[in-house]
């Protein structure tokens, strides 16, 4: 094959390879293959010197033009590919800075006490009750006197209660909000009061600070059956629609009659587990105590008689429950102190 034919063949092969190259990198490979130091075309150019003089001019010129033409085409195509590649990269790497940031991953959840409080609040809001907040630093008057506690009631003792002075203390229950609420609002009143309470107590079932929810309903013609219906609705909402409640006679200074309220055990049948064992939750009794309650004592109403609470015209019921107790029963928590240890392994279990 003559050198001229070889040049034509190489140029055609180079142009075909160039046409196939779809990236700048592939194109550079073509450049090296056909125009690099070890490529055939430059070699041919070097061989021109050995040709007979009359051929040198034409062949040298042809080879040179072929090389220049290839370089021009390579440069042109490289330019086009580079622009296309930049376009794709810009398209793929595009960040829309106007998009809203991703929301932060959730970093926690509500404490079981808060969850339980809100659940109970929801039930009573559904029954038309308002929610009130009261002071944790309370007077002896609202905490004991106005609630009909006689002078010798044991809860008054400094060994049981945190006193700040002779007549100021950390409230031992949420019940002081009964008289406070009735001072602020004429009857009818339907209110619940969640909040912290304090007692000098500390063991597996007592902490010096815990949470209660007080309930108070005063209106004309309220009877014990209203109390029972309300608390049955509450018990079914919290512990399941199959629940029953029972009222047991009890004593509280500020209610008359007073009752303790039990819910039917949701862990067993009549005190017996499926495997025949005695139920540990209700201790085989089929009932679990959940709260204290009763009809508001007329002596309590007399403190707010001037605001419309004449015991001759209005009656009411009250109840008080421990939020921890409800949460422990419902979720099988066995040690009250777990609520306050802040061990993440405990807290995480209650989504
Ligand atoms: N205050 C009571 C306690 O802390 C609970 C209680 C019992 C509240 C009866 C009431 C009630 O409103 O009627 O043990």
Nearest to 124 by CA among 193, 210, 196: 193
pLDDT at 8: 87
pLDDT at 135: 98
Q: Parse the chain into domains and list their residue ranges.
A: 3-92, 112-350
| CA 207/CA 212 separation, integer angstroms | 13
pLDDT at 40: 83
| CA 86/CA 103 separation, integer angstroms | 32
pLDDT at 323: 98
Residues sharing a CB contact under 8 Å with residue 154, sequence separation 6 or more, in sequence order: 160
75-87 per-position pLDDT tens digit? 999 999 999 999 9
- The first and second tokens of residue 280, run together, are 């540990």
| 293 Cβ below 6 A of ligand 1 | yes
| 297 Cβ below 6 A of ligand 1 | no
pLDDT at 94: 85
| 322 Cβ below 6 A of ligand 1 | no
Edge-to-edge strand ranges of the sheet holding 287-296: 130-131, 189-198, 209-219, 315-322, 287-296, 255-264, 245-252
Task: State the pairing for strand pair 287-296/315-322.
Answer: antiparallel
pLDDT at 170: 98
Q: What is the distance, to the nearest Å, from the Cα of residue 271 to the centroid of all Cα atoms in its chain?
A: 36
| Choice from 222, 315, 319, 324 to test ligand 1 binding pocket (greatest atom count within 8 A of CB) | 319
pLDDT at 276: 95
196: left (phi over 0), alpha (psi -120 to 50) or beta: beta
Cis preceding linkage at 199, omega within 30: no
175-186 per-position pLDDT tens digit? 999 999 999 999
Q: Are 3 and 47 in contact (CB under 8 A)?
A: yes
Task: State the pairing for strand pair 189-198/130-131.
Answer: parallel
Give the chain's residues under pLDDT 70: 106
Q: CB 130: neighbour CB atoms within 10 A?
A: 13
112-350 architecture in CATH?
2-Layer Sandwich (3.30)
Q: What atom of ligand 1 comes closest to residue 175's alpha carbon?
A: 1
């Amino acid at each position: 094959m003559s050198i001229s034919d070889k040049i034509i063949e190489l140029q055609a092969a180079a142009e075909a390879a160039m046409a196939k190259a779809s990236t700048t990198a592939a194109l550079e490979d073509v450049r090296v293959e056909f125009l690099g130091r070890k490529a055939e075309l430059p070699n041919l150019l070097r061989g021109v010197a050995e040709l007979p003089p009359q051929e040198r001019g034409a062949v040298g010129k042809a080879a040179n033009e072929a090389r220049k033409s290839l370089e021009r085409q390579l440069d042109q195509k490289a330019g086009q590919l580079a622009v296309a590649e930049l376009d794709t990269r810009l398209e793929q790497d595009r960040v829309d800075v106007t998009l809203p940031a991703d929301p932060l991953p959730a970093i926690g959840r509500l404490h079981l006490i808060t969850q339980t409080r809100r659940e109970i609040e929801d039930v009573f809001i559904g029954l038309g009750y308002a929610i009130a907040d009261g002071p944790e630093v309370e007077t002896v008057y609202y905490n004991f006197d106005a609630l009909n506690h006689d002078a010798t009631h044991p809860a008054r003792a400094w060994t049981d209660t945190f006193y700040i002075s002779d007549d100021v203390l950390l409230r031992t229950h949420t019940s002081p909000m009964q008289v406070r609420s009735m001072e602020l609002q004429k009857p009818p009143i339907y209110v619940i009061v969640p909040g912290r309470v304090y007692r000098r107590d500390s063991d597996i079932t007592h902490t010096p600070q815990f949470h209660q929810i007080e309930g108070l309903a005063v209106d004309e013609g309220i009877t014990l059956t209203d109390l029972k219906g309300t608390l049955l609705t509450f018990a079914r909402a919290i512990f399941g629609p199959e629940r029953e409640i029972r009222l047991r006679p009890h004593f509280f200074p500020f209610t008359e009659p007073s009752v303790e309220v039990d819910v039917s055990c949701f862990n067993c049948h009549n005190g017996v587990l499926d495997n025949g064992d005695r139920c540990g939750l209700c201790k085989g009794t089929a009932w679990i105590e959940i709260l204290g309650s009763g009809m508001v004592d007329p002596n309590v109403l007399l403190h707010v008689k001037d605001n419309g609470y004449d015991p001759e015209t209005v009656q009411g019921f009250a109840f008080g429950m421990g939020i921890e107790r409800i949460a422990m029963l419902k979720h099988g928590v066995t040690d009250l102190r777990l609520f306050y240890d802040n061990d993440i392994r405990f807290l995480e279990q209650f989504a």
